[in-house]
């Protein structure tokens, strides 16, 4: 490497290929080289550099500039973005028991959990908190006889019938000895049926990625089932399982499965009566999307429970009874929301118990099996240090605004204030205005008059030493937190 003569480098920045000319030659330090790259290509975010090693024909981390020379290739590597993920903390226990559950029954038995009383206020300790609605989960499971689980990280292949298992073991023996693949035409129907039942435990509308995961798990456990003509051995199984799930849904619809029947043509509006139009299916993390009515119950009996619930919410210190009735009427409530898409005002009229923080947490737990408040606060606290570093490193006008927002936690870094500031700063970092979501008022009278013009808003009004926080949806105040 000539430190005096000019040099040029091939620079890879994501999908772009650029040329960097260094009139004074390659710098003596990596930091100087990074500065040259940043200035030449106007990079504002933090990054590291890798170089192409000719011996291994792969990129390695650049530790010193003597590892590169004139006309070499370097690559700009940005740090991995911060991702907030939701996962079920009990998934390991669920996955371990899935194979046995699939053999015994297609319905899920209740899973007992410790009890928990939710609090409408954020907590700074998580060790003594359990997922919400754990009693709810048991009650709803035993009542309906069906409850979906979160999609597992590794899909568990079920145990097939004895004759199918014997055929698979014989094929695996031949595969290990001779490397030959199995002609599975005679057992294909049984394989697809059992796999469809296993998928149904999690969802009746699997995505393409989920179907691929099932196919991958199948050929990983039984390599003899790979298809020689397929590059990965999965393509044929992906198509078979996708078509099988379509047939499986049609069968479920005939037997009145609400999650599938809601999409039948006769249950759609006249303008939506096309098979592929306005399909209603669970979104990500929605486990119990449209559960069936509890065993022995129908729409009329659950409607009576709802009317009794209207009287119960007027009583004081009645949280336990309200929780039980909300759990029992969950399927009726979901049926109304999914099929009719009512307004917030209509929901509040029929289900006033739903409009407080405790019952929102409970309802979220019934749908996703996750504790909304605990999970959100836990992940927010976990990522707060990285988010603060991200905000502090931001430049430009947004960076200046972020510094002003973050300045208040430098004097007072209590956990509640830090959470509020980080959420406000996150809105600014994404290029939005905090006041578009959070509105602060000087008096409650002004706030009440202003509520009706907002479609969605978080309104803060003063109230003594603490502030009142109101959630506004479609012009209605549906929840207040003191």
- Domain presence at residue 242: yes
- Based on the fold, state whether residues 224 and 165 are members of the same structural domain: yes
Query: Do residues 82 and 281 lie in contact, with contact meaning Cβ atoms separated by under 8 Å?
Result: no
* Structure tokens given for 117: 């009383």
> H-helix or E-strand containing 400?
helix 396-406
Distance CA 381, CA 367 (A): 24
Choosing from 250, 283, 316, the residue where a domain stops is 283
- Of residues 208 and 474, which shows the higher confidence score? 208
Choosing from 260, 283, 306, the residue where a domain stops is 283
Residue 213, number of CB atoms within 10 A of its CB: 20
- Domain presence at residue 353: yes
- Based on the fold, state whether residues 327 and 418 are members of the same structural domain: no
- Domain presence at residue 244: yes
- Domain presence at residue 93: no
Residue 76, number of CB atoms within 10 A of its CB: 20
First-to-last C-alpha distance (Å) of the chain: 68
Q: How far is C-alpha 468 from the chain's CA centre?
A: 30
- Based on the fold, state whether residues 429 and 322 are members of the same structural domain: no
Owning domain of residue 29: 7-77
Domain total in the chain: 5
- Based on the fold, state whether residues 256 and 297 are members of the same structural domain: no
- Of residues 181 and 128, which shows the higher confidence score? 181
Q: How far is C-alpha 349 from the chain's CA centre?
A: 30
Residues contacting residue 253 through CB under 8 Å, at least 6 positions apart: 260, 261, 263, 264
- Domain presence at residue 160: yes
Strand 58-61 relative to strand 73-77, pairing: unpaired
Give pLDDT tens digits for 438-475. 888 877 666 677 777 788 888 888 776 677 888 888 87
- Based on the fold, state whether residues 278 and 291 are members of the same structural domain: no
- Domain presence at residue 204: yes
- Domain presence at residue 317: yes
- Based on the fold, state whether residues 400 and 293 are members of the same structural domain: no
- Based on the fold, state whether residues 404 and 313 are members of the same structural domain: no
* Structure tokens given for 410: 């430098």
- Based on the fold, state whether residues 174 and 233 are members of the same structural domain: yes
- Based on the fold, state whether residues 135 and 240 are members of the same structural domain: no
Give pLDDT tens digits for 310-349. 999 999 888 899 999 999 999 999 989 888 888 888 898 9
Closest residue by Cα to residue 224 from 163, 165, 164, 183 = 183
- Domain presence at residue 161: yes
pLDDT reported for residue 136: 47
pLDDT reported for residue 272: 59
- Based on the fold, state whether residues 42 and 139 are members of the same structural domain: no
Mean of pLDDT over the chain: 79
Largest CA distance in the chain: 88
């Amino acid at each position: 490497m000539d430190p005096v003569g000019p040099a040029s480098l091939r620079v890879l920045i994501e999908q772009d290929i650029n040329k960097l000319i260094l009139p004074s030659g390659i710098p003596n330090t990596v930091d100087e080289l990074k500065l040259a790259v940043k200035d030449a290509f106007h990079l504002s975010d933090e990054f590291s550099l890798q170089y192409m090693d000719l011996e291994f024909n792969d990129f390695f981390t650049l530790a010193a500039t003597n590892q590169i020379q004139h006309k070499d290739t370097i690559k700009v590597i940005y740090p991995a973005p911060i991702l907030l993920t939701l996962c079920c903390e009990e998934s390991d226990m669920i996955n371990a028991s899935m194979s046995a559950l699939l053999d015994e029954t297609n319905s899920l038995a209740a899973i007992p959990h410790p009890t928990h009383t939710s609090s409408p206020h954020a907590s700074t300790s998580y060790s003594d908190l359990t997922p919400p609605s754990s009693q709810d989960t048991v009650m709803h499971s035993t009542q309906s006889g069906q409850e979906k689980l979160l999609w597992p990280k590794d899909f568990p292949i079920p145990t097939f019938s004895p004759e199918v298992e014997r055929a698979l073991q014989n094929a695996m023996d031949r595969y290990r000895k001779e490397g030959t693949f199995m002609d599975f035409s005679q057992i294909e129907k049984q394989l697809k049926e059992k796999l469809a039942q296993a998928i149904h435990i999690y969802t009746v509308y699997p995505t393409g990625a989920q179907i691929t995961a099932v196919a991958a798990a199948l050929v990983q456990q039984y390599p003899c089932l790979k298809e020689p003509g397929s590059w990965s051995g999965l393509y044929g199984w992906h198509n078979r399982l996708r078509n099988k799930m379509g047939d499986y849904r049609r069968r479920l619809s005939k037997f009145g499965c609400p999650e599938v029947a809601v999409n039948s043509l006769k249950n759609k509006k006249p303008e939506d009566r096309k098979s592929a139009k306005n399909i209603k299916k669970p979104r990500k993390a929605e486990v119990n999307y449209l559960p069936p009515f509890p065993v022995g119950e129908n729409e009329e009996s659950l409607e009576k429970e709802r009317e009794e619930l209207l009287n119960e919410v007027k009583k004081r210190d009645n949280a336990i009874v309200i929780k039980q009735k909300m759990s029992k009427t969950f399927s009726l409530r979901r049926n109304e929301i999914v099929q009719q898409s009512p307004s917030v005002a209509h929901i509040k009229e029929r289900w006033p118990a739903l409009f407080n923080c405790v019952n929102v947490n409970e309802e979220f737990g019934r749908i996703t099996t996750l504790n909304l408040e605990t999970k959100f606060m836990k992940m927010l606290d976990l990522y707060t240090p990285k988010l603060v570093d991200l905000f502090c490193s931001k430049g430009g006008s947004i960076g200046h605004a972020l510094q002003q927002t973050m300045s208040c936690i430098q004097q007072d870094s209590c956990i509640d204030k830090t959470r509020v500031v980080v959420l406000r700063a996150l809105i600014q970092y994404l290029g939005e205005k905090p006041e578009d979501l959070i509105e602060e008022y000087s008096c409650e009278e002004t706030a009440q008059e202003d509520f009706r013009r907002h479609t969605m808003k978080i309104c803060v009004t003063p109230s003594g030493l603490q502030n009142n926080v109101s959630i506004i949806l479609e012009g209605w105040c549906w929840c207040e937190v003191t």
